[in-house]
Structures are given as C-alpha cells and as structure tokens.
Structure 1
Amino acid sequence: APPFSVDDNIFHTSTEGKVLENPKNSAPEFIFQRTISPEKAPNKKTKVKITFKNSDPVAVNGKKLKPEKLLDKLNDIAGKNAIGRVDLVENRFIGIKSRGVYETPGGTLLYIAHRAIESVTLDKRTAHDKERVMPEYAELVYNGYWFSKKRIKLQKIIDKKRNQVAGEITLSVFKGNVTILSRRTKNKAYSMKKVSFEENKSFNKNKVEKFIKYHSKQLNKA
C-alpha cells in the first residue's frame, strides 16, 4: 500500500519503494498513473504521425504544436494504449541497485519515431558515432553532469548533421506495442536504387567481389 516514492514531470513518472523493493514482487496495477494495462487498452489500433525538423518533433498528425503541447498529446495517445511502462533494476551513482517502475508514454513514442527518422537521414559514420557516445552521454546526464565539459563535447557529436534529420514517421500503437508503418523524408541517406533486389545498373558487382576479397584477406591477417 502507499506511500511510495514518486517522482513526476511532464515527461516521466517513476515509482519506487514499499512492495517494489522486493524484486520477487510484481508491481501492483494501482501504482500506474499515466498508462493503462494492455488488457484494458482499446481493441483497435491507433495511428500517429510525428513530424521532425532539425531533429526536433514539431507536429503530431499534421498539427504543429509547441513542445509541451506536443508531449501532452503523445502522452495522451500512448497512455490510453498502454505504451511506456518499464520495470527495471538500475545501478545508482553510489553503487547500490534500485528497482523502479517507470512510465514514459509520450517519450517512448518520440524515442521510437526519432530513431526511425534517423535511420533514413543520417549517414553510416554519423549514425555510428552517435550510437557510440550515447551510453556515456546518458550516464553523465543521469549522474548530474549536465554542465560538464565532457557532456558539452559529446553534445557536439550528437548534434552533428541534426539539420538533416527531418521528415514524418507514422506509428501504429496497440495494446502496449508500437509498430513503425512508414518513414518519409526528403533528406534521404537511404537509396532505393542502391538497395533494390531488381536489376541494378548503378551497382557494380565486380567491384563488390573485389571488395569482399580484400576484406577477406584482412580477416586472415587479424
């Protein structure tokens, strides 16, 4: 029974303490404040389109919204469809482990949609650089080092080519699940011509064979 330790803001709600301190115990349904259970979610799929400009979300279902209104809208859609629940054990800054139940409904949709738009707009090197630094960046922010020189340095890597991250992602939400339906962008790093399984005149198979042989030799040297 309450009281639990609850932290809440527009983006996220975390609940800890009491029955949750024993990892054997399931989280009671009454502690969830922003999301309903998958069993009670609608039996109908909901589509949601998120528009990005310069890597930032700017519209939902074609309607431009200010950041807080946009997040409110996504929180409402996701919460009603059981999106955004996480039950995890984390490693605290001081070394102890702590179990918590988190609700991030709108943030979950933004995360999935943003990764989807990045996948078709960022080149390989930029995408890999971002993947490489994100764990360290997240740990710095989690531990309170937002104003550190290291965080600021990593931010420059993360923001590289953010002006290319623009377009629309359409998602389907249904009983706790999120499915990407479409990715639309004018800034395409993805080329249908180069990846087509049909006859591809722009792709030189002889060069590919040489490339494979070269890298095979490198593997033998390793």
Structure 2
Amino acid sequence: MNHLNQRDITQTAVSKVVLAYSGGLDTSAIIPWLLENYNCEVIAFVADVGQGDEELVGIENKALESGASSCYVVDLKDKFVNELIAPAMQAGCIYEEQYLLGTALARPVIAEAQVQLALEVGADAVCHGCTGKGNDQVRFESTFAALAPQLTVIAPWREWSMRSRQELLNYLAERNIKTSASATKIYSRDANLWHISHEGGELEDPWEQPTDGVWTLSNSPQQAPDQQEVLELEFSQGVLTHLNGQALKQTEALVMLNKIGAEHGVGRIDIVENRLVGMKSRGCYETPGGTIWYQGLRALEELVHDRPCQRLRHDLGQRLSDVLYDGQWFTPVREALVAAVSALATKLTGTVRIALYKGNVTVIGRKSPLSLYSEAFATFEEDEVYQQSDAEGFIRLFSLASRIRALKQGGMA
C-alpha cells in the first residue's frame, strides 16, 4: 500500500536520514515507512533527557528490529538542566501563567544533538515524528534551520496518508514489527526530567475532569502525606547548589525535588493553552520538582531585587517564555534575553525554606547576604532611621500631576 500523498511524488532524494526516535508508536512506524518510501538508510537517534528506564531499556534493539541501521542513545540530562532549565528558572519562565514549559524546554537540546549526529555520520536528512497540528514540528524544524539549513527535513505526519492510531498499529502489524502501543492506550504523553505531559482521552473534552488514569508521576493531594515536609534550597547567583544543606549538582537536586514533590502532590496543572499553530489544546502537566525550584527563586528575588529589577525580570521572563514555547531558542533575541536574565541572576544568592503540604508549595523563610530588606526600616516599632514626616513631601511630589489636573478642572463640584 502506498502511504504517500500525491503531492510527494517529486520528493527530494535522500540517502541517509537521522530520525529522532522515541520507540513509541509514531517513530516505530516511521522507520519502515522511510525505508519503503525514501529507500534510504535510517539511523535512530534517542535523546536521554530523563524520561526514565521504562522508555529507554531495550530501545536500541527495538530500533534495529524495526529496520534502523544503527541507534545512538545520547545522554543529554545535564545539558538539559544546566543550559535550558536553569536559565529558564532564573527568568521565571512560565507560559500563560501556569505551564513551566516542560516539553518546550527539552526540544532545543534534542534537536541540536540530532543535527550534530546527522553531520557526524554524513546524513543528508533529519526526520521527526511530530504531527502537523502541534508546536513541536516548529521547534524541531526551527532548530534544524538555524543550525544546518542544508539538511532535508522529513515530517511523515505531513506526508503519509495514515491519520489515526489504529492505522499506525495496522501498518506495523502488516510488517510484523512489534510495538508496546495498543488501541487501548489512549493518552499521548511526553516525559523528561522536568515534567510529564498528558493529552488525549477524556482530556479532549475540557469539561471532563481528569480521571486517576491520567496522572502517573505524582500523588493526588488526597493521597499525599498528612504531615508537611520542609525543604531548604540554597542558590548561588541563580544556580541551585544545595538541598537541605547537601551540595548537589542541579540535575541531582532536580531528581530529589521531583521525588519529594511528587509524594506531596505538588506540581499538577490542568490547562487549556494556546498553541503556536493557532488552535487551543487541553493538557495536564506534572512538574513537581520544577514547581518547587520556581517558587524558591521567586522568593529569593523578593529579597534581593528592587521593584524596577523585579518588573524587568518579569517582563524578560514573559518574553523568553514565548521564545521557548515558539521554538526560537537558537535566535539572537533569545541570546539577548538570557544575557539580561543572567545579569539579574548574579544577585540571586541565598537560602529559601519551603513547606510542602497536599499539593501546596509555601515559602516560610528566606535569607540572603544580598538582601535589600531592612528590619530597621520596615519595623512597626520605634526606629531611629526613618523620619515619617519626610513622607509628606514625597506624597506631594508624587501626586503633583493629580493636584494640577484637579486645579485645572475645578476638582469635584
């Protein structure tokens, strides 16, 4: 059966392609499809961004049995955390006020490593399994364009005639290719060290409450312990360095925060977001460690930044969130935003104490050698440093425009 559309008859000749391979249903079908329709060598590229052993164990053999000539598994966890997650947290990146960008943050790291492998093995094409409805196709292909525009990009979901999960299952069955996917696995999930996302099933109706089958990483608040747990996070110039007094790499700290936060039901959200391609989508996300990390840095900046710096950081974070969501990491605007964020982050040194209880993350203490908070000035008790009478002149000048306007217009009748 020909699984190409008519418009693809004049497709570009390809001899070797590097496929971003996950071992899921889509990419399992893509390998034989590429062999049949492009008559090319297929090299599977697997990015280890912390999705876990369940997805990675045996994945090389699986790719080879599907027809790949070789399979490369590349450990990108530290790069993911240090080069993407850490600056995003310093910036306070959060898309549409809730989403900590778990999928979007991983894509630049994955696509960059895919391009590097393609150039190393002499491939003339790269391939991804993103659908034509989603954001990820833009994220992957924008990276390809920025780093290696000479490579041909193959996007099977925009070329083949298959349109459903069942058609993909039938396609694999016809070729005796094994897959762990089934028609009963109704959710589409994306997991990495930062989060796990869930789409599909009952979530396609925004009125329907997610069932227990949706959540896979964290306890519900009802299942969480009845006692709060208190954590101490220590930062140095915006870098997470210690957890409960223990010196850790940021990747190690995130693994621990994920485990602790998941136990306490932290980091669950259910949102309807605006995709870059124009449609709305409903998804559920679990980001337990990231939620704690985010709140810790925000509490620290309350101490060390004055109002103009806090406002600037917020504006930079919103801009960078859109850049990340839209897959524009490898652009001059991203470089400029991160540079500005890094300058502000030099003040983010200190310790934050956080209480976790049944899904809630509550900051209960913060301290910093760079703190701008002064008890001597802020106290409600008697002080020797602030003359309250000075406020009168400040208020007169601050409200001067209003006073002039009222005089010109005659004030209230």
The TM-score normalised by the length of structure 1 is 0.96
Q: CA deviation at 1:100?
A: 0.1
Provide closer, same or farther for how the CA distance between residues 219 and 134 of structure 1 changes in structure 2, counting only shifts above 3 A: farther
Q: CA deviation at 1:124?
A: 2.2
Report if aligned partners of 2:299, 2:352 keep a CA contact under 8 Å in 1.
Answer: yes
SS in 1 for 2:213: helix
1:191 counterpart letter in structure 2: S
Unaligned runs of 5+ in 2: 1-183, 406-413
> Which deviates further from its counterpart, 168-177 or 97-106?
168-177
2:396 counterpart of 1:213: yes
Match of 2:282 in 1: 99
Identity fraction in percent: 31
Match of 1:126 in 2: 309
Q: CA deviation at 1:207?
A: 2.2
2:314 counterpart letter in structure 1: E
1:157 counterpart letter in structure 2: A
Q: 2:334 aligns with which of 151, 175, 179?
A: 151
Match of 2:223 in 1: 40
Report if aligned partners of 2:313, 2:344 keep a CA contact under 8 Å in 1.
Answer: no
In the TM superposition, 1:8-157 aligns within 5 A as 8-157=191-340
Question: For residues 217 and 67 of structure 1, what CA distance do their matches in structure 2 show?
Answer: 50
- What whole-Å deviation, never above 9, does each CA across 1:69-98 have from its counterpart, x for those lacking one? 100100011000000000000000011000
SS in 1 for 2:394: helix
Q: 2:357 aligns with which of 151, 174, 191?
A: 174
2:341 counterpart letter in structure 1: I
2:347 counterpart letter in structure 1: Q
1:102 counterpart letter in structure 2: Y
Aligned CA RMSD, in angstroms, stands at: 1.3
1:10 counterpart letter in structure 2: L
Report if aligned partners of 2:224, 2:263 keep a CA contact under 8 Å in 1.
Answer: yes
SS in 2 for 1:130: helix
1:186 counterpart letter in structure 2: P
SS in 1 for 2:277: coil
Report if aligned partners of 2:234, 2:243 keep a CA contact under 8 Å in 1.
Answer: yes
Q: CA deviation at 1:221?
A: 4.8
Question: For residues 156 and 199 of structure 1, what CA distance do their matches in structure 2 show?
Answer: 43
> Which deviates further from its counterpart, 70-79 or 193-202?
193-202
The TM-score normalised by the length of structure 2 is 0.52
1:171 counterpart letter in structure 2: I
- What whole-Å deviation, never above 9, does each CA across 1:170-189 have from its counterpart, x for those lacking one? 11101111111110211111
Q: Which has the larger radius of gyration?
A: 2
Provide closer, same or farther for how the CA distance between residues 220 and 7 of structure 1 changes in structure 2, counting only shifts above 3 A: farther
Unaligned runs of 5+ in 1: none
Report if aligned partners of 1:85, 1:105 keep a CA contact under 8 Å in 2.
Answer: yes
Q: 2:344 aligns with which of 158, 161, 171?
A: 161
Larger RCO (alpha carbons 8 Å, 6+ apart): 1
- What whole-Å deviation, never above 9, does each CA across 1:108-142 have from its counterpart, x for those lacking one? 00011110011101222211111122211101111
Report if aligned partners of 2:194, 2:290 keep a CA contact under 8 Å in 1.
Answer: yes
Question: For residues 92 and 198 of structure 1, what CA distance do their matches in structure 2 show?
Answer: 52
